[in-house]
Chains A and B, each alone.
Chain A
Amino acid sequence: MPLDTSSYSLALLRLDGRRWNELRRIHAQISTQAAADGSSYLEMGNTKVICTIAGPAEVRRTGGGGSDAEIKVEIDIAGFSGVERKKRTKTDKRVAEMRYTIANAFSSSLLTHLYPRSTIQITLHILSQDGSLLAACLNAATLALIDAGIPMTDYIVACTAGSTSSYSSNDESADPLLDLNSSEEMELPFLTVGTLGAGEKVSVLVMETRAQIGRLEGMLAVGVDGCKQVREILDQVVRRHGKKLVNSIVE
């Protein structure tokens, strides 16, 4: 199903009927698990992620830990989440890089200096994968960290952006695409961009595929713009949750 050669150029509609700058449906809930210190459930299209936070808790191992809280990320990809059932080892390089990226992103946005010698454990359960996995994980973790009440300077929100032009066609006017699903991710170059706050401050940028350098600017601009839309949606979710909490106190 070569997306960039057949249908897209005619109708300018993607396989799932979206235009180039449209996000998939985002549905999110906060405080889904009572046992965790903070939790969230996030759907970006058919990508579904549960995030739970444990901590800040005392460091278990001997030796103490540093003057800042350490952020540990655990990613559990369910066997039934993908198209084919794939056995993933503990040392999967892609998962390891996602864990590192998430830990790194949040260590800059969270006020970790308030919790010396402690750990904040972010556990992500991926129930269903359909593209933009890292972005969904970052968004879910942001919501769960807000629920856990861990102080942060601002939200980290993320989404993906891709480019429809193939390397060989060298088509300068090709559209960039926002929020790719898995079939688009498989054949198009794409990047995951995460922004901190309402501005255009990029805090996460991951690209695993190759693309011409000329495409990068367009992809990045679309990605940052998408992050603003995601932020609006997450903002609504957080505000709704905050209102609910305040109402439950008053009653």
Chain B
Amino acid sequence: MAYPSIAIPGQPLGLSSQYASGPGTHVQNAHICASILGPVVEYAQDTKASSGKTRDSPPPVLSVQRSAQLVSNDAALTNVLPEVDAVVLARVTRINPRQATVAILVVGETVCSDEFQGLIRVQDVRATEKDKVKIFSSFRPGDIVRAQVISLGDQSNYYLSTAGNHLGVVMATSDGGNTMYPISWKEFKDPVTGVTESRKVAKPF
């Protein structure tokens, strides 16, 4: 074995005529060089990709593994992204009469490592009587909302919808700062003051 067990960035690992460059490596002066710190792995190239040439087998691939990939388990590694039709949990960050901006915290069953910004437009809040919906009486900043991704949206926002019985606000705090409980499909009640506030309520399971 010509290459070392642990590579450090910039270290030459082998000639590019003998090996192919895999993840974690780059080619410099006809040498495969490591670009990250970690153990070196050699594996045979996927032969299906280069089925045109049958005579000579493709060179083996050299790659450097990220050490953290081996240390951490797979669950932490998989970085989930919201996709269309996924049900997400999001926190309302700000509202205006046309839309509510939210931060997506959970996609499906997986907690995101990073928050994603999403948007609930006024016409996507509920399925019926869309023209009568008021964002102000559906969401408030700080509410936790269960919503469905309807579009990957523009470059900064995912577009979400709460049209559906099971979608809407699942957790809300009142003006007084108390956690409220849902009493109907459009109202939450403060257990301390007894005041009701209107929301687009998600049907509890």
Q: A residues within 8 Å of B by Cβ?
A: 57-58, 62-64, 111, 146-147, 149-155, 197-198, 235, 238-239, 241-243, 245-246, 248-249
Contacts and interface: CB of A to CB of B under 8 A. Distances in A.
Given A62-B155, A242-B8, A153 B68 contact: no
Interface of B: 5-6, 8-10, 24, 26, 28, 33, 35-39, 66-68, 70-71, 114, 116, 155-156
Contacts of A154: 9-10, 33
A235 B5 CA distance: 15
Top 4 A-B pairs ranked by shortest CB distance?
A154-B10, A151-B35, A245-B67, A242-B6
Given A146-B9, A242-B8, A246-B5, A151 B24 contact: yes
A64 B153 CA distance: 13
Contacts of A62: 155-156
Contacts of B39: 246
Contacts of B8: 146, 235, 238-239, 242
Contacts of A150: 36
Contact of A152 (B9, B38, B71): B9
A146 B36 contact: yes
B37 A146 contact: yes
A249 B41 CA distance: 15
Nearest to A147: B37
A102 to B, nearest CB: 17
22 contacts: A58-B116, A64-B156, A111-B26, A111-B35, A146-B36, A149-B36, A149-B66, A151-B26, A152-B10, A153-B26, A153-B28, A153-B35, A154-B33, A155-B9, A198-B10, A241-B37, A242-B8, A242-B37, A245-B37, A245-B67, A246-B39, A246-B67
A239 B6 contact: yes
A151 B71 CA distance: 19
B18 to A, nearest CB: 21
Contacts of A248: 71
Contacts of B71: 245, 248-249
Nearest to B113: A57
Contacts of A152: 9-10, 35-36
B10 A246 contact: no
Nearest to B33: A153
A58 B156 CA distance: 10
A242 B67 contact: yes
Given A152-B10, A154-B9, 13 more contacts: A63-B155, A64-B155, A149-B38, A151-B24, A151-B26, A152-B9, A153-B33, A154-B10, A241-B37, A242-B6, A242-B8, A245-B67, A248-B71
